[in-house]
Amino acid sequence: MTEETKKNNSTILWIILAMLLAALGVLGYLYWNQHTELNELVEQMTIEKEELQEEYEDLAIQFDGYRNMDIRNDSLQDLLSREQQRVQDLLEELRQTKASNARRIAELKKELATVRAVMKDYVRQIDSLNATNKRLTAENIQVRQENQQVKEQNSQLSTLNSQLSETVTRAAMLEMTSCSVTTLNKRDKKTRIKGQIRKLQFDFVIAKNITCAPGMKNLYARITEPDGDLLGEDNNLLFPFENQEINYTLVQQIEYSGENYNGTCYWPIDDIEAGFYTIDFFCDGNLIGSFPFQLKK
């Protein structure tokens, strides 16, 4: 081997060593850069998880507030309880989820948005119930004030007789335990498409009451729109309620025997806005049921 060949081999060896060192340097930099980015990503996901957890905890507190309200609607109370439990379960899952599990955290974030949307609907229903109570209370204030003066003039015996009579009357009052709403098209088929709705079908149940006098009875219904107006309001359509005459939307005659009564009534419509409605049922001069329902867009 000549001297020149040895020099060439030595040069090639140094070139190879230099390339290996350069490659190791590049790999080291890539590893350090990737490790730094990974740490930053984990730190960011940890912050997002903590923020999401705070939002869940705030939502749980809001549900506690509504659960403590006096909501006289068992079905709505049950819905609130189920959603509240759902929030607690999701919050517990979030606490146990690692910050690096970006996919599950993103899914829990979507779940939070869904629960918030459901809660907004429940808040609207609660507001609708409160509005109904306020409206009926306002309509009856004047009558109650006029009756108060008469009550104060009654003797102790008259007061006792009034209390006994009121007890008997309350025992004989009908009570509507449930009412479901179905939207129908012009062929009387079920539809959820707002533009095709031409009729509202109300299926209701009146509870058994053997103390109530049986026979033919007029069942009056008042349907109020989201803005509080009465559907089908007509000054000629009146019925007695608490010593006054108030408007009604529809009336249906039923034959009550004292047993459970299942009935259906309808209300035709041409166009109707989306939102929360309320239907109040009256019979024998008493409010026997009040039910909110929603028509979606």
pLDDT in tens, 215-269: 999 999 999 999 999 998 888 899 999 889 999 999 999 999 999 999 999 999 8
In a domain? residue 69 = yes
Q: Is 135 within the bounds of a domain? A: no
**Which residue among 126, 146, 162 closes a domain?**
126
Say if residue 119 is in the same domain as residue 180: no
Confirm whether 72 is domain-assigned.
Answer: yes
Q: Residue 143 falls within a domain, yes or no? A: no
Q: How many domains does the chain have?
A: 2
Global model pTM greater than 0.85 = no
Q: What is the DSSP string of the chain?
A: --HHHHHHHHHHHHHHHHHHHHHHHHHHHHHHHHHHHHHHHHHHHHHHHHHHHHHHHHHHHHHHHHHTS----HHHHHHHHHHHHHHHHHHHHHHHS-TT-HHHHHHHHHHHHHHHHHHHHHHHHHHHHHHHHHHHHHHHHHHHHHHHHHHHHS-HHHHHHHHHHHHHHHHH---EEEEEEEEE-TTS-B---GGG--EEEEEEEEPP-TTSPPEEEEEEEEEE-TTSPBTT--TT-EEE-SSSEEE-SEEEEEEE-SS-EEEEEEEE-S----EEEEEEEEETTEEEEEEEEEE--
Which of 96, 126, 156 terminates a domain? The answer is 126
In a domain, 134, yes or no: no
For residue 203, what are the domain limits?
Answer: 175-295
What is the pLDDT, as a whole number, of residue 175? 94
Please indicate, yes or no, whether residues 17 and 112 belong to a single structural domain of this protein: yes
218 in any annotated domain: yes
How do residues 62-101 score in pLDDT, each as one tens digit? 767 666 666 666 676 776 677 767 767 776 776 777 766 7
Mean pLDDT of the chain: 78
Residues 179, 116 share a domain: no
Q: What is the mean pLDDT of residues 49-60?
A: 73
